[in-house]
């Protein structure tokens, strides 16, 4: 777990300056997958895994980045920052600098130490945590503070335009705007959102299949293209449909035959997922765990069968969970093709649930999973 004091003293020893420290969390998405870039609904929560950023000004014109995780330093001239990615971890902070520079800010010479415990490639948004942590740290040096939704958009742009992954807004949004003990229902069209309290007797159990996923990977990009293809077919008949957010199940009945079979299935997932996500938020607010669990089960089936974004291990993890006492709902979370499942569990049964899930998954797959009982956390903030 994170220790800001350790980062503070390591930064001070390495750079000879007292830093300001910031944290930005990873996230788990309760429901609403591959709906964000279709301007639909998502309902993530920030979690208690995070990236910490320690920042201090420099006088020598340089930007020095240090990753505690990689034990590696990168040095740049502040007035000659790279304009393109390198395929290196430093792309994430450099992308944020590039976007801020594009917004008219002069990036000052600085030292930035980064440390994180969001497991990479596990569908918990380690990249968004890194971008948002960098952005809030940079803001403090610049003496500015963008509203959370604007900051999230800048970080998403750094990933789209600099890092080169075609992700939507969800991950950066929740990392910037999450709230302790709450999930957040986000309308990705206008970035309006509502917080939904997670009842005290409901635990968030995150189960890592240990199968790695890649958002920059070809599968994510091809799914997104199929979703856009389906929207374009519907738009031929109903020009007001710009994104699948605007479409409904009847559109698929009428014009699905004009789509490729893949696009039709992907669209069915996205259109029904939007409906499920809004219903799930209502169920959470009403503490209607039965409805919430049913919606999560349907969402997983749709993600696995129509969106074909699951994998054998994740399906196994969900199937095991569904037979265990205490489960409210389980599904694969995040970009897909591996990573973690999210399990809502009656809190008094969370520990035995987690133990049994880990044991039975290991028996079934031969893989030892990592299972965490998490808490919904605050979005990015300064640590005093």
> Given the rule CB under 6 A, which residues bind ligand GLA?
33-34, 36-37, 167-168, 170-171, 215, 334-335
Continuous segment of H or E residues that includes residue 278: helix 261-285
Is 171 designated active site?
yes
Q: Do the Cβ atoms of 247 and 229 come closer than 8 Å?
A: no
Q: Do the Cβ atoms of 102 and 161 come closer than 8 Å?
A: no
Q: Do the Cβ atoms of 215 and 37 come closer than 8 Å?
A: no
Cα 241 to Cα 222: distance, rounded to the nearest angstrom? 21
Continuous segment of H or E residues that includes residue 57: strand 41-57
Closest contact distance (angstroms) between CB of 333 and ligand GLA is: 8
Exposed, middle or buried: residue 34 (CB in 10 Å: 0-12, 13-18, 19+)? buried
Beta bridge partners of 372: 206
Closest contact distance (angstroms) between CB of 227 and ligand GLA is: 10
Q: Which is nearer to ligand GLA, 170 or 284 (CB)?
A: 170
Cα 183 to Cα 168: distance, rounded to the nearest angstrom? 18
- Which among 36, 48, 91, 171 is annotated as catalytic? 171
**Residue 88, CA distances (Å) to 70, 75, 77, 210 in order:** 11, 13, 17, 22
Q: Which is nearer to ligand GLA, 63 or 231 (CB)?
A: 231
Cα 308 to Cα 303: distance, rounded to the nearest angstrom? 6
Q: What is the DSSP string of 134-192?
A: HHHHHHHHHT----HHHHHHHHHHIIIIII-----SHHHHHHHH--TTEEEEEETTTTE
Determine the number of helices (DSSP H) and then strands (DSSP E) in the chain: 11, 12
Q: Do the Cβ atoms of 78 and 109 come closer than 8 Å?
A: yes
Closest contact distance (angstroms) between CB of 118 and ligand GLA is: 12
Q: What is the DSSP string of 356-381?
A: HHHHHHHHHHS---EEEEE-----SE
Closest contact distance (angstroms) between CB of 112 and ligand GLA is: 23
Q: Which is nearer to ligand GLA, 93 or 335 (CB)?
A: 335
Q: Which is nearer to ligand GLA, 170 or 184 (CB)?
A: 170
Closest contact distance (angstroms) between CB of 367 and ligand GLA is: 22
Continuous segment of H or E residues that includes residue 84: none
Q: Which is nearer to ligand GLA, 111 or 277 (CB)?
A: 277
Closest contact distance (angstroms) between CB of 171 and ligand GLA is: 5
Closest contact distance (angstroms) between CB of 77 and ligand GLA is: 31
Catalytic residues: 171
């Amino acid at each position: 777990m994170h220790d800001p004091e350790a980062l503070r003293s390591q930064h001070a020893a390495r750079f000879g300056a007292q830093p300001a420290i910031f944290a930005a969390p990873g996230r788990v998405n309760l429901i609403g997958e591959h709906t964000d870039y279709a301007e639909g609904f998502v309902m993530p929560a920030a979690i208690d895994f995070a990236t910490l950023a320690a920042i201090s000004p420099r006088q020598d014109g340089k930007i020095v980045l240090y990753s505690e995780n990689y034990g590696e330093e990168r040095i740049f001239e502040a007035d000659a920052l790279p304009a393109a990615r390198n395929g290196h971890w430093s792309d994430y902070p450099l992308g944020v600098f590039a976007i801020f520079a594009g917004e008219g800010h002069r990036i000052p010479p600085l030292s930035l130490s980064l440390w994180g415990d969001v497991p990479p490639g596990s569908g918990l948004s380690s990249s968004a945590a890194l971008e948002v942590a960098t952005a809030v740290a940079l803001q403090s040096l610049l003496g500015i503070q963008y509203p959370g939704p604007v900051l999230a958009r800048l970080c998403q742009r750094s990933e789209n335009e600099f890092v080169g992954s075609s992700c939507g807004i969800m991950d950066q949004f929740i990392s910037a705007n999450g709230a302790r003990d709450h999930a957040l229902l986000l309308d990705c069209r206008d970035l309006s959102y509502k917080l939904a309290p997670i009842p005290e007797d409901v635990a968030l159990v995150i189960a890592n299949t240990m199968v790695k996923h890649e958002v920059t990977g070809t599968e994510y990009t091809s799914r997104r293209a199929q979703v856009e293809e389906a929207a374009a077919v519907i738009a031929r008949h109903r020009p007001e449909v710009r994104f699948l957010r605007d479409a409904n199940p009847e559109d698929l009945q009428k014009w699905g035959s004009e789509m490729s079979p893949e696009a039709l299935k992907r669209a069915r997932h996205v259109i029904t997922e939007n409906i499920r996500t809004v219903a799930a938020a209502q169920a959470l607010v009403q503490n209607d765990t039965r409805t919430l669990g049913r919606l999560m089960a349907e969402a997983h089936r749709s993600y696995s069968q129509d969106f074909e974004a699951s994998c054998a291990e994740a399906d196994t993890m969900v199937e095991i969970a569904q037979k265990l006492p205490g489960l409210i709902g389980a599904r694969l979370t995040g970009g897909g093709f591996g990573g973690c499942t999210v399990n809502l569990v009656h809190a008094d049964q969370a520990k035995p649930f987690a133990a049994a899930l880990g044991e039975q998954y290991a028996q079934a797959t031969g893989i030892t999973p990592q299972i965490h009982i998490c808490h919904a956390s605050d979005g990015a903030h300064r640590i005093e």
